[in-house]
A and B are shown apart, each in its own frame.
Chain A
Amino acid sequence: MTLIDASLFSALIFFSLYGLAAAVECGIALSLLIDKANKSAALFTPLWELTNVFLVFGFTLLGMLFNNALPVLSRSLLSTLGIALIALVARASVVLTLFYLRPKSLPAVVLWLFGLLNFSVPVSFMAAGIYLLTGHLAWQTAVGWILLASAFLGLAAIGLLFVNRRAAKLQLPSQLILLVWLLFIGSILPLSVTHSDLHLTHWPFLALNFISIAGLFLIYLRMKRLIKLELWKLAAAIGLLVPFLLALANRPYLINSQLTLARAFGAQSFGAVIVAGSLIMLPLILLGLWLFMKLFNNLGNGTKEG
C-alpha cells in the first residue's frame, strides 16, 4: 500500500464512521416522524454532535492530504456542499428547539423539517462523493441518481434498524428498506455502472453484488429464525464497506477521469505523520465509541446525560 492509498484509506475510515453515526441520526428522525411517542426520542441527545466531528475530521484529512484537488472541488462542489452547510446550522437550531427548549405544543412541520435536515447533510456529502466517483454532479447522470437513492436507502435502513432494534413496531418497514437497499447496491448499481461509460473498475461492484446476496440470504435465515443475527449490525457492516469498495472502483482517480490520486496528493512532507497518527488514534477512538455504546445502551431506559 502506497502513502497515497493509505491517506485515502485514513480519510475513508472517518467518512465511514460519520456515515454510520449520521444514519443513526436519520433513524431517530424517521422514528420520531412515524411515532411521536417513540422511545428513540429518549435516546437522542445533542451529544450526537460527535457525528459532525467525524465529518470535519474526515474532510480535513481529505483536504490536507489531497490539497491539490481543493481548487477543482471548490469550483464544482460549493453548491452541493453548500446545502450541507446550511442544513448543519439549521439542524442545530432544530435540535436545540426539540431537545432543549421542548415547547409544549410542537407543530408536525418541525419534525418533518428535522427529518429533512438530518438526511440533507449526509446525502449532500454523498452527492459530493458521487461527483468524485463519476466526474459529474450527482443529478446529471443516471448512475448519480441511483447512487443518491442508494445513499438515502442505506441511511434509512441502518438508522431505523439501529434505533428500533428492540422495538417490534418498526421492524418490518426497516427490514423492507434494508432489502430494497441491498437490491439497489447489489444489482441496480452494478448494472447501471456496467452500461455507463465511466472509467470504473468493475470488480468492486461484483464484490458488492456478492455481499448483497450474502446479506439477503442472512436476512432470510434471520426471518426464518434459523440464526441469531442483529440486522442493524449486518446493515452497518455493509454501510462501512461500501465507501471503500467505491473508492477502489475509482482508483487511480480521485475525480473520475479528471484528476488522479497521485496528482491530487500534496502532503509529501507530512502525509506519513498524519496517516500514522490517524491509525494510532483509531484504537482510542474505537475504545471511546465502545464506552459510548455501553452508556448509550442504558439511556433508553434511564436518564439522559446522567
Chain B
Amino acid sequence: MDVVSAARSLIADTLAFHLFFVLFGVALPALISGLEFYSIKSRRPRARELAHQWSRALVILFIAGAVSGTIVSLQFNLIWPTFTSFAGKVVGVSFALEGFAFLIEALFLTIYMMSWQRFKPWLHWLCSLPIVFGALASAFFITTVNAWMNTPRGFRLDSHGSPIDINTRQAVFNPAAGTEIAHSILAYFLATSLALLAIYAWVAWRRNKGRLSGDFRKVMVGLAGLALLFGLLVAFTGDRAGKFDAKYEPHKLAAVEGLEHTQSGAPLLVGGIVSGSHIEHAVRIPKFLSFLATGHWNGTVTGLNDIPGDQRPPVIVHYFFDAMVGIGSLVIIVTFLYLVFSKWRRGWANSRLMLILLVVCGFLGILAAEFGWMVTEFGRQPFVIRGVMRTSDAVTHSRYAIEFGYIFPILYLVLFVLTFLALKKGVNFTKVLK
C-alpha cells in the first residue's frame, strides 16, 4: 500500500466509524431534551426516567464519538497537512467554531448527567439546551467545511497556488452549505429515530410477540411518527440536493447516474452493475433524471463526456446513491405502514413481520447515512477541494501513515464491540415501560 492509499483508507475508516456516533450525538440530545420537556410539562415522571435512560446511552456513545472526533481532528492535521493548511486559511473559522460548539456540548453533558437528581427538573432541563445547541452547531459548522470542499468559494489563488483575498463569509456560506447541512442533519435525526424504534421493536418482538403496554406502544408510535416526518424531510432536501448537484456539481450527478453523454430527456438508472464508466442491466426510467435534476422532462443534464477524463469521479458512487435512496424510500413506507396499522390494525402493527421490518430499518437508517457520506466524498474525487486541490496532493509524505492504515481499523472494531456491549449492559431502554 502506498502512502496516498493508506491515508485515504485511514481517513475513510476513521470517518465511517466517527459518523456512526456523530449521528446519535447530533440527534439524541434534541430527542432527550424534547422528552424531558414533555415529561415536566405534562407531569409524567416515567417519561423523565426514559429520558434519563436515553441520556445514559448518549454518554456511552459520546465516549467513542469524542475519541473518534479527536482522532479525526488530529488526522486532518497530521495525515492531510496540505489540505488542512489550505482549508485552515479559508474556512479555519468553521473548524474553530465547531470546536467551540463541541466544547459546550461536552461540558454541559457532564453537568447534565451529574445533576439528574441534584437539580430541580426545570433547571436540569435547561442544562440540556446547551447540549442541543452544541450538537447542532458543531454539525452545522463542520458540514460547512465539507460543503466548501464541494463548492469552494471566498478566495482567489495567487501564482503559487495559495489562497489570497479571503472572504470568510462567502467561504462558510458557500452554495452547497444550505442543502448539505439540511440534508445531513435531518438524516441524522432519521437514523437516530429509526435506531431507537428498532430497539423497542426488538424488545417487543422478544418479549411477548405483540402484547404491548400502552406506554410501550406510545413510545413506538411516537418514534415511528418522528422517523416518518424526518424521512419525508430528508426526501425533500434530497430532491433539492439533486437539483443543486445538476447546477453546481454536474460531475457528481453524472457519476451517480453513470450518464455518459450530455443529453436532454435523460433517463434515471436504477440498480444495475457498474462496469468501468458504464452501468449495465439497470432499470431505465425515461426522462426521469431530467425531471428530477431540472424540473423539466426535457431538461439538459451534463454527462461525463463534458468532464475532462482526469477529473471524473468513479461511477461506483452509483451503488452508494442507489442504496441511500432505496433505504430512504423503504423506511418511509415501513414507518407509514406501521403508523396506519397502529391506528386501524393493531394486530398487524405488532406482527412479527412488522417488528422485524422495523428492526431492519434501524440498521438501514445508519447505513443510509454512511452511504450518503460516501456519495459526497466519492463524488468529489479525484479532488479533495473541488477543482483546487487533488486528494493525492493533500496527503502527508510520512510513511507512518501506512502502518496506521492497518492498526486503526482493528482498534475501531474493538471499541465498536465494547461500546455495543456497554450499551447493552449499561442502559435499560424499557425500564420504565410496563
* Residues in A lying within 8 Å of B, measured CB to CB: 45-47, 49-50, 52-57, 59-61, 63-65, 67-68, 70-71, 73-75, 77-79, 81-82, 84-86, 88-93, 95-97, 100-101, 266-267, 269-270, 273-274, 277-278, 281, 284-285, 288-289, 291-292, 295-296, 298-299, 303, 305-306
Contact = CB atoms under 8 A, between A and B. Distances in A.
B282 interface: no
Contact of B93 (A77, A93, A101, A274): A274
Contacts, number: 211
Interface in B91-107: 92-93, 95-100, 102-104, 106-107
B1 interface: no
Nearest to A67: B88
B66 A52 contact: yes
Interface string B68-103: 111101111111011011101100110111111011
19 contacts: A59-B73, A60-B96, A61-B96, A64-B88, A65-B92, A74-B78, A82-B400, A88-B70, A89-B68, A101-B421, A101-B422, A101-B425, A266-B88, A267-B92, A269-B166, A278-B96, A285-B107, A292-B110, A292-B111
Contacts of A303: 117
A288 B93 CA distance: 23
Interface residues on B, range: 35 or more
Interface string B189-219: 0000000000000000000000000000000
Given A73-B78, A89-B408, A269-B168, 10 more contacts: A56-B74, A59-B74, A63-B77, A64-B95, A70-B88, A78-B396, A85-B74, A270-B168, A305-B59, A306-B113
A93 B415 CA distance: 5
Contacts of B93: 64, 270, 273-274
A74 B79 contact: yes
B411 A86 contact: yes
Interface of B: 52, 56, 59-60, 62-64, 66-71, 73-79, 81-82, 84-86, 88-89, 92-93, 95-100, 102-104, 106-111, 113-118, 166, 168, 396-398, 400-401, 403-404, 407-408, 411-412, 414-415, 418-419, 421-422, 425-426
A92 B63 CA distance: 7
A67 B85 contact: yes
Given A56-B70, A85-B74, A305 B56 contact: yes
A49 B62 contact: yes
A65 B404 CA distance: 27
A132 to B, nearest CB: 14
A64 B100 CA distance: 13
B290 to A, nearest CB: 41
Contacts of A74: 77-79, 81, 396, 398
B13 to A, nearest CB: 11
Contacts of A61: 96, 99
A295 B114 contact: yes
A192 to B, nearest CB: 29
Contact of A270 (B92, B114, B414): B92
A295 B118 contact: yes
A199 B140 CA distance: 43
Nearest to B86: A67
B106 to A, nearest CB: 4
Contact of A71 (B56, B85, B99, B110): B85
Contacts of A77: 78
B118 A306 contact: yes
A89 B67 contact: yes
Nearest to B422: A100
Contacts of B92: 64-65, 67, 267, 270, 274
Contact of B115 (A70, A84, A306): A306
Q: For the complex, would chain A's binding face be called helix, strand, loop or mixed by DSSP majority?
A: helix
Nearest to A60: B99
A68 to B, nearest CB: 6
A285 B77 CA distance: 25
Contacts of B70: 52-53, 55-56, 88
Nearest to B72: A56
Contacts of A52: 66-67, 69-70
Contacts of A97: 418
B415 A306 contact: no
Given A46-B63, A59-B77, A292-B111, A269 B412 contact: no
B62 A78 contact: no
Contacts of B102: 53, 56-57
B110 A75 contact: no
A129 to B, nearest CB: 14
Q: What are the 5 tightest A-B residue pairs by CB atom distance, in nearest-first order?
A: A306-B116, A67-B88, A64-B92, A74-B81, A100-B422
Contact of B96 (A64, A85, A86): A64
A86 to B, nearest CB: 6
B88 A96 contact: no
A56 B105 CA distance: 14
Given A49-B67, A67-B88, A95-B63, A57 B99 contact: yes
A52 to B, nearest CB: 5
A274 B106 CA distance: 19
Contacts of B414: 89, 93
